[in-house]
Structure 1
């Protein structure tokens, strides 16, 4: 487990906060389930559907019929699979962001992926969008909602009623995917891909 704190917060204050919240943290971690090391024989969600990781042949990772076939040496399965997932995530986020930006009538300046723990996405004042690549593991509507949420920040850099109205205009009723993230989002961090980030 990692404790992340703002720059100006003293470590002792952060540790005191963590101790105070320890029962909640333990309940939250227990509800999320055990970590899953990505390897042949493990299961990983892709687009919200659990897939069995099997040994692949050739050069490409292939997703088909509830299986993800990963070629190469067993010790490279996590790295190969995370590379494939990031490629899928980049394509899906670009498609969703392009669609919502066109509806909004504003363009973004860049799109990056990260493996963040504290937020699923962000939008800077100069129009740079950032998303957690792990959202490719979630159901498609969750990824789409996060894209609409961040694109809406291109015109509303806050979480005011005007911002939420813009999200609704772009996406529609966002209650279900927002609830999914609150309820299941931490589970996306259970999947351990080895040294890959």
Structure 2
């Protein structure tokens, strides 16, 4: 893969990827990081592929604008915590304090301190939710780990280990608890069969709204850069 520039106002960075399996030129705009990938079949001249991308420049710009830009975490920027947008402000003391519309963070180490604090808060919320759902289900889990995953919000292994994205703490509480219920349900049903979804509904209730939110809006949680 290699990067190319498409002239325009502004110019567009495009990652050109050759593929022996591709049958036609295609474009993809990642909702996770905004990367524009131009997939080109082997044998198609690069000039033809770049001309295709130039013709689609307006389409690319529309999708990039819909995603929104990345947000570098710093004093004055805004960040959602448990679904509520809050402005990051300098803390008068040494502790991070969550208020209704702002987060007070010691200024000298704001991004690193806030990142660690959010992961701790995410773990607290997820452990509480998983303990509750596991008790309802009558099944125990072995451990909970947090990662910054991009392809999934959670997982459950055959030995009962649960994994979650710490970024769930940025979403509304009902989204986080839905994902917890989803993964705990796998302790009983290691599949996505009708029986599995009945288990999720028994634990959580109507899971369709938070599931739909994650599909349509969840990628936006990856915009925040620490």
User: When the two structures are superposed, what TM-score results if normalisation uses the length of structure 2?
Assistant: 0.75
Q: What is the aligned counterpart of 1:56 among 88, 91, 94?
A: 91
| Matching of residue 130 in structure 1 with residue 163 in structure 2 | yes
Q: Superposed, which structure 2 residues align to 1:99-138 within 5 Å?
A: 99-138=132-171
Distance 1:188 1:102, change over 3 A: same
1:72 Cα offset (Å): 3.6
State the aligned residue count. 180
Match 1:35 to one of 38, 49, 70: 70
Computed over aligned residues only, the root mean square deviation of the Cα atoms, in angstroms, reads 2.1
Distance 1:168 1:23, change over 3 A: same
Distance in structure 1 (CA, Å) of the matches to 2:30 and 2:101 = 35
Deviations 1:20-70 (A, max 9, x none): 342686565442211100000000000000001000122211001211000
Report the counterpart of residue 83 of structure 1 in structure 2. 116
CA distance in 2, matches of 1:87, 1:23: 32
- Shift of the 62–156 alpha-carbon distance from structure 1 to 2, 3 Å rule, reads same
Q: How has the CA–CA distance of structure 1 residues 103 and 28 changed in structure 2, closer, same or farther, with 3 Å as cutoff?
A: farther
**2:123–2:146: 8 Å Cα contact kept in structure 1?**
yes
| Whole-angstrom distance in 2 between the partners of 1:62 and 1:54 | 10
Could you tell me which runs of 5 or more consecutive residues in structure 1 were left unpaired when the two chains were aligned: 1-10
Greater strand fraction, Structure 1 or Structure 2: 2
Residue 182 of structure 1 deviates from its aligned partner by 0.7
Moved more, 51-60 or 118-127: 51-60
- TM-score calculated relative to the size of structure 1: 0.85
Residue 6 of structure 1 aligns with which residue?
none
Greater RCO structure (CA 8 Å; 6+ sep): 1
The structure in which a higher percent of residues are helix is: 1
C-alpha distance in structure 2 between counterparts of 1:107 and 1:95, whole Å: 13
Alignment-derived partner of residue 213 in structure 2: 180
Q: 2:105 aligns with which of 59, 70, 74?
A: 70
